[in-house]
Structure formats: structure tokens, C-alpha cells
Structure 1
Amino acid sequence: MNAVEHVVPVRGGDLAVTHWPARGAAGPPVIALHGITSNGRFLAPLARALAANGTPVHAPDLRGRGASRQLPGPYGLSAHVADVLALADALGDAAGGTGGDTAVDARGPRPILLGHSMGAFVAALAAATHPGRFARLVLVDGGLGFPAPAGHDIDALLDAVIGPAMRRLSLTFPDRASYHAYFREHPALADHFGDDLRHHLDRDLVGEPPMMRSACVLDAVRADGADVLSDPATLAAVHRLRDPATLLLAERGLLNEPRALYDPERVAAAGLDPATVTVHQVPDTNHYTILLAEHAVAAVAAAVTW
């Protein structure tokens, strides 16, 4: 089934959402949230796998990204949470419910909330502040925060963590091919560059040759990065969950380096409640290929549909 586009009214305009309808009888819908400089099309391999097995997926371009770049500030993770709740209510209304947290049962199956990287922090915050609103969580190489040092510079820290993904926001590109080439050289993506990544990048590129640039709004990235790195509510969210959650971790880092973003020692030291959060590592993956490699997509899909 081909993906279809729809919008959901949110503060300041419309949230753009890509929907992969389920084949056959549909199970609970999945709301899938992308990372800090990404857009909903990055979830395409996972969404197709889930949709083929009866699970519909709705992947928004988060506020300030992709086709939702026109949505205004204030930015930050609480703004994303409000947008996600609006999407969840819209899905409930479409299923014949009445909207609002009190109508969860009337709407039918509660959505499953999945997030990758920054999207996992949004998912954890949404679930922690609205317990019972979602059936369960799947956090993909994100959602577990470690406070940044006091007096940090957000741009410098984001550059240190996400590297080329952050630096490209200040660059211009003469055409689409040069933008693709920039990412072909990314050490974490080079072996998995195909049509899905090209479609994701094309959705991110705006402007006209020879001055094309990323659709990501830098102020939105900064605000979201500040929350991920230092907002107390965001950092505490994964420890406050009441809904069951699965945390899936990549084996390697954001640049395919041997040390993962979440190495076993740091995860153990975080003291997650094993009764609520189940942790699994997905072998032979980095921060990005955990949603691109065929075996990794199967592992994430299995965590969604258990």
C-alpha cells in the first residue's frame, strides 16, 4: 500500500502526517516520531513492514521540520507533545470516537507510540504526562537522557552529538544531487543509501538551485536540543512511565563508531525500572541503521507488535 499524506490541525496551522495504511484487518495504529533534524519519511522502511502485517502507521513531520516547517514557535518538546496528542485525538475521531483522554475506550484501540532519537524523548514525555493515553511505547535509541554540564552551548553540544546532521542546517546546496552526495559520505549511512533515504532527503530540501537548504528550522532544533539535554521534565520522563515501554538500543554510535550512544554501563547506571522498561540491544546497527537495515527493521517491528 502506498503512503498517503494528510494534515492535522494544531496550534498555528497544520501538522503534516504521512500515513501507511494497513493491509487487511488493521490493528492499533502506530504514531511514529522521527529525530531532531529528520522528518516522517525516515520511518518508511519500518512503516511498510508494519503496514504489510496489519498495523497502520502515522508519521508526522514534527513542528519545524519537513512539510511542518511553517508551524510557528514556541518550540520545544512540550509543543511536540501537544501536536502528538492532537494527532492521537484525530485518529480517534476518525475511528468514531469523541476525542479527549476520557474517551479512550470509545475511540477503540489506543495508539502505540514509537519514537527514534529525539522522537523517543517526545514519546516518553507524552506518555509520562498523559498516562494511559497510549497502549505502550517503543523507544528507539533515544528517550533516556543524561544531563548536560552547566553553562553548555547548545549549538556546540548538538554539533558534537549529531555532527553532519547539525552542520548541514547552515549550509546551502546547488541541487538535490549534491545534497544526496553529502549524506552518501556519512559514515553511518553510506552502506544503506537507497530510495528511502533519497525520499527522506528530498522532503527535507527546500528552496531553488543553486541555494537549496534543509527545511529544518534552526530555532526549533535548538529549542528541542536544549530540552533533550537539560529540561528536568524531559530527563525525568522515562523514569516516570506507567505504560509498558521497550527501549531498543543500537550497537554502535551516530557516526558508526564502536561506542554506542547508549553503552551498557550508562544504561545500567540510569536505573530504569525493569517492570516498566524492557531494554534490548539490536546487533549490528548504528543510531540510524536501526531503522534502515532489514534485520533491524524486523526487530523494531516485532517490538511494536508483540
Structure 2
Amino acid sequence: MSIEFEDVGGQRIARFGTGPRLIIAVHGITASLMAWGAVGRRLPDGWSLVAMDLRGRGHSAAMPGPYGLPRHAEDVLRVAEHVGAGPDAVLTGHSMGAYVAALAGARRPFARVVLVDGGLPFPPLPEGLDPDAALEATLGPALARLRQTFGSPEAYVDFFKAHPAFAGHWNDDVEAYVRYDLTGPEGGLRSRVVSEAVMEDGRWMRLESARIGAALQAITSPLTLLRAPRGLLDQEVGLLPDDLALPWAARLPGLRDEVVPDCNHYTILFDDHCVSAVVDRLTA
């Protein structure tokens, strides 16, 4: 697989493939551009995928705040312009990246917008529940690792191998994604992700449901939602269950809602059969 890295105004971007047809891809809340490595590796001839490390993540960790999803959407559109992505380009995002993609897709046309296990407004928080507490409950190990240091790259890999979502699903793409995230000296390695960015983005995502809904309704491009039936910890209920997704499918007549079988929130971008479905919907 051909991968070319570039820094654009302090933001790391990567181009997977060499074809003229472009996909602009946005990663999740504690992820990096390497979340799209398996998708980029399976693109058909004639296609390329451009992914970026969002500010506060990966090799864009030093980009300053404020954070928040509208700021990320501005960065996405700036990268799209930089790489020459016209209205025939495809825009996609996974998890939090799907919400960013919705905001960006509301501001300019794309050939289609594909939301991967994200992008739909969450129900209002129960009265008295702090959004930070809700984020902690949802993300679990993903947030815990941001507070830890690791003695070696192998220790960090082992931490991820113990994650319920990756049990029985480990492969070279997951390992490349995990190793890309490490920084720091031997004996004191840590994730590149900036905790402040995660918390600020998480608050925005939980408290600005009306703005997310308005963005979805403003998208004029063909819109696809790909859902994983299993959740962030491989639990039986996914991040976007039917009782959340189906009302939005009814509200947005142009939305194509599809469940990708036998995937969880993470493996939808890493397991062969899940990735094949994602690639097909991006390039069909």
C-alpha cells in the first residue's frame, strides 16, 4: 500500500493510494489517521483516501485549541481544499469523525457523505448527569489509556490486545494503528492524544445535539449511515441502536441506513469483511 505523509499548517495528513478519485476521511475521538489504514489498503484502482490527524491527536497533537467539532470541520474543509477535493470527492468519518463529517458536509457538496457508526445526535443527558461523566462511562478504556504511561511499545500493544473490542480480532492493521499513537521516551511512553481535546470535543458532541441535527438536515449530498451492531466494548447493543437510528432515517428521506453484520464499533474499520463493506459503500 502506498502511503504519503505531509504536514499542512501543523496538521499531519496521509494519502493512501494514488488514484485520482478522492475520499476525505475523519477519525474518532481518541484515534488517529491510521484508523483508516485498512480501508486505504483495500481501495480499488483509481481511488485514494486522504486522512488527517485531528488537532490534539496523532502528529497534530501540538495544534492548539480551542477544540470542538466545528473547529475540526474547518480543518477538514481546509485539508480537502489543499488536496484538490472537488464536488466529486467522497467525505466519510468514523465515530466522532462522523459528526465532524456531518458538519463539514453541510457546508459544501460532496459526491456522497458516508457516516460510519456515528453522526446521529444522542438523546439528551438525564437531568443532573455531567457530560464528562457520561463520556467516561461511554469510552472506558479509551480514556483510561490517556492517563497511563507504558514501559515499552509491546506493553502498549498488550494494553490494546486486552481491549474487549479487539479480542479475537487482532491483525497487522490494528497493530500499525496502535504503534502510530505512541510518543515519549522508553519507559515513559504514552498516547499522543491530548486529554483536553477529547474532553472538550466530547462535551460539544453531547451538548450540541440540535446543531448536529441541523447539519444532517442541511446536507444535500447523498447520505449513507453504516452502523455496527455491537458497541465500543463489543457489547450486544451498538453505539447507534435501532431506536436511535430509525427515527432519523424516517426524518431524513435521503439517508440510506445500513447495519454491517458481525462488526463492533472498532472492527468496522479493521476486520476484513467489515472493511470490504465500508470500501464498497465509499467507492460504489
The alignment's TM-score, normalised by the length of structure 1, stands at 0.87
Q: Choose the corresponding residue for 1:20, options 16, 20, 24.
A: 16
Aligned residue identity for 2:140: G
> What's 2:167 paired with?
190
Secondary structure in 2 matching 1:29: strand
Structure 2, unaligned runs of 5 or more: none
Secondary structure in 2 matching 1:174: coil
Structure 1 residue 140: Cα displacement: 0.3
Matched, 1:61 2:39: no
**In 1, Cα distance between equivalents of 2:186 and 2:125:** 38
Matched, 1:31 2:24: yes
Following superposition of structure 1 onto structure 2, how do residues 1-306 of structure 1 map, counting pairs within 5 Å? Answer: 1-9=1-9, 14-22=10-18, 26-50=19-43, 52-92=44-84, 110-128=88-106, 130-132=107-109, 134-146=110-122, 147-231=124-208, 232-270=210-248, 272-306=250-284
Aligned residue identity for 2:26: L
Aligned residue identity for 2:112: R
Structure 1 residue 125: Cα displacement: 0.8
**In 2, Cα distance between equivalents of 1:72 and 1:282:** 36
Structure 1 residue 272: Cα displacement: 4.5
Secondary structure in 1 matching 2:5: strand
Deviations 1:29-52 (A, max 9, x none): 0011111000000110111111x4
Structure 1 residue 275: Cα displacement: 2.8
**In 1, Cα distance between equivalents of 2:204 and 2:250:** 20
Structure 1 residue 271: Cα displacement: 5.1
Q: CA RMSD in A?
A: 1.6
Q: Relative to structure 1, is the Cα distance of residues 8 and 227 closer, same or farther in structure 2, using a 3 angstrom cutoff?
A: same
Structure 1 residue 62: Cα displacement: 0.7
**In 1, Cα distance between equivalents of 2:265 and 2:48:** 24
**In 1, Cα distance between equivalents of 2:254 and 2:20:** 23
Aligned residue identity for 1:70: A
Structure 1, unaligned runs of 5 or more: 93-106
Q: Relative to structure 1, is the Cα distance of residues 243 and 269 closer, same or farther in structure 2, using a 3 angstrom cutoff?
A: same
Q: Relative to structure 1, is the Cα distance of residues 150 and 234 closer, same or farther in structure 2, using a 3 angstrom cutoff?
A: farther
**In 2, Cα distance between equivalents of 1:186 and 1:197:** 12
Asked if 2 retains the 8 angstrom alpha-carbon contact of 1:41 and 1:199, the reply is yes
**In 1, Cα distance between equivalents of 2:213 and 2:125:** 10
Aligned residue identity for 2:27: H
Asked if 1 retains the 8 angstrom alpha-carbon contact of 2:16 and 2:48, the reply is yes
**In 1, Cα distance between equivalents of 2:102 and 2:250:** 13
Secondary structure in 1 matching 2:258: strand
Fraction of identical pairs, as percent: 41
Structure 1 residue 169: Cα displacement: 0.9
**In 2, Cα distance between equivalents of 1:296 and 1:55:** 19
The alignment's TM-score, normalised by the length of structure 2, stands at 0.94
> What's 1:103 paired with?
none
**In 2, Cα distance between equivalents of 1:273 and 1:91:** 34
Worse-superposed segment, 256-265 or 152-161: 152-161
Asked if 1 retains the 8 angstrom alpha-carbon contact of 2:268 and 2:275, the reply is yes
Structure 1 residue 2: Cα displacement: 2.1
Instruction: Count the aligned residue pairs.
Output: 282
Structure 1 residue 148: Cα displacement: 2.6
Secondary structure in 1 matching 2:264: coil
Structure 1 residue 131: Cα displacement: 3.3
Deviations 1:103-129 (A, max 9, x none): xxxx7553211100000000001112x
Q: Relative to structure 1, is the Cα distance of residues 188 and 5 closer, same or farther in structure 2, using a 3 angstrom cutoff?
A: same
**In 2, Cα distance between equivalents of 1:150 and 1:66:** 35
